[in-house]
Amino acid sequence: MNDATLSALFLGLLEGLTEFIPVSSTGHILLAGHFLGFDSAGKTFEVVIQLGAVLAILGVYAAKIGRTVAGLPSDPQARRFAGSVLIAFLPAVVVGVLAHDFIKDVLFESPRLIASMLIIGGIVLLIVDRLPLTPRHHEADRFPLPMALGIGVIQCLAMIPGVSRSGATIVGALALGADKRAAAEFSFFLSMPTMAGAFAYDLYKNRDVLDWSALGEIAIGFAAAFVAAILVVRWLLGFVSQHGYGLFGWWRIIVGSIVLAALSMGY
């Protein structure tokens, strides 16, 4: 394998491993790309491999999604669950469309900001994980609609690279009364419209500068992200139910600190 292929494989695995845990996959991908010297016109590679993670969630939850869709005409609970995910998704649509260019052209180009957000987010995650919260909601498909909207508003913080989409939604859900497993599971379901919408909008906005010349590298990154994301999703719910989110908080702080130190030395 040449260097570009190895970088594509590594970044694809990194995307899949970090997309659904609260450590910021976007932050990790951008920082890794910075230090590897890996870039693509219009961020084609970075955009497309996210779809691999979306398809992983669709595969893992295909049966539940199928039951929900089939029940929409007759089952009030199915309609309520679909409505809660849609309501949680809407704030990201508004903020993403209005701030897209600023996010991609300014925030995505600041490794120091990303590293700082990793550290701050890690501290927040450690604090929330240790708070004596009393969960009131134990099923991700039964969150009240106002709670879903609140989670969606908090998710918008993840427009800042390094904050973490899953981290923001999980912390929001925990603070609003979800237990740890339900918070992670709702984050999974919310990721589907959010990531698919971001993927489609990114492709539209960058349609004139997209670089499809490296299709082999894109395919490798896509496949690696898909496989890694399936493994993480199947593992994560059981892990957080038993151990919480402290490990991910410390991981964020360590990675962010290492990156800031490397940047200060001119890397």
| The pLDDT value given to residue 120 | 96
* Separation between Cα atoms, residue 17 and residue 231, nearest integer Å: 8
| The pLDDT value given to residue 90 | 96
Contact criterion met (CB below 8 Å) for 118 and 27: yes
In 3D space, the residue among 169, 177, 175, 171 whose CA is nearest the CA of residue 138 turns out to be 177
* Separation between Cα atoms, residue 21 and residue 24, nearest integer Å: 8
| The pLDDT value given to residue 196 | 86
Q: How confident is the model at residue 209 (pLDDT cuts 50, 70, 90)?
A: low
- This prediction has a pTM of 0.88
Q: How confident is the model at residue 121 (pLDDT cuts 50, 70, 90)?
A: very high
Q: Can you give the residue range of the structural domain that contains 238?
A: 3-264
* Separation between Cα atoms, residue 32 and residue 165, nearest integer Å: 18
pLDDT in tens, 29-78: 888 888 888 776 556 677 778 888 889 988 888 898 999 999 999 999 99
Q: Is 219 helix (H, G, I), strand (E, B) or coil?
A: helix
pLDDT at 7 exceeding the cut of 90: no
Instruction: Give the residue carrying structure tokens 């609140």.
Output: 150
Domain count, the chain: 1
Residue 137's beta-bridge partner residues?
178
The one-letter code for the residue type at 73 is P
